[in-house]
Amino acid sequence: MVVQHYLGPAVIILCAAFAVMYLVKREIRPMLVMIAMAVLVAIVLYAAPSLFSQNSAIVRNGGEIAKQIN
């Protein structure tokens, strides 16, 4: 909860600030890297709980695959 409410937005805002800084300096590649990092942080923080919960399809399929391997 702390991560989603405080840490996540702080990291996204920090990445956005660096992206704007690189945009002003006209450095495209570092700007795109910062934007990509902000997107990845958002995906991990906000989509992971629904993707990797106990009842999700990903976790169930992973469990079935692990049982088949053993």
- pLDDT value at 29 more than 90: yes
* Secondary structure letter of residue 25 according to DSSP: T
Domain that holds residue 32: 2-69
| pLDDT the model gives residue 41 | 85
Q: What is the pTM of this model?
A: 0.64
Work out how many domains the chain is built from and give that number. Answer: 1
Concatenated DSSP letters for 38-68? HHHHHHHHHHHHHHSSTTSHHHHHHHHHHHH
Q: Give pLDDT tens digits for 30-70.
A: 999 999 988 988 888 887 777 777 777 777 788 888 888 86
| pLDDT the model gives residue 60 | 78
Average pLDDT of the residues in 13-18:
91
Cα-Cα-Cα-Cα dihedral sign, residues 56, 59, 62, 67: negative
Distances from the Cα of 24 to the Cα of 15, 19, 35, 59, angstroms: 14, 9, 14, 43
Q: In the structure, what pLDDT confidence band is assigned to residue 25 with cuts at 50, 70 and 90?
A: very high
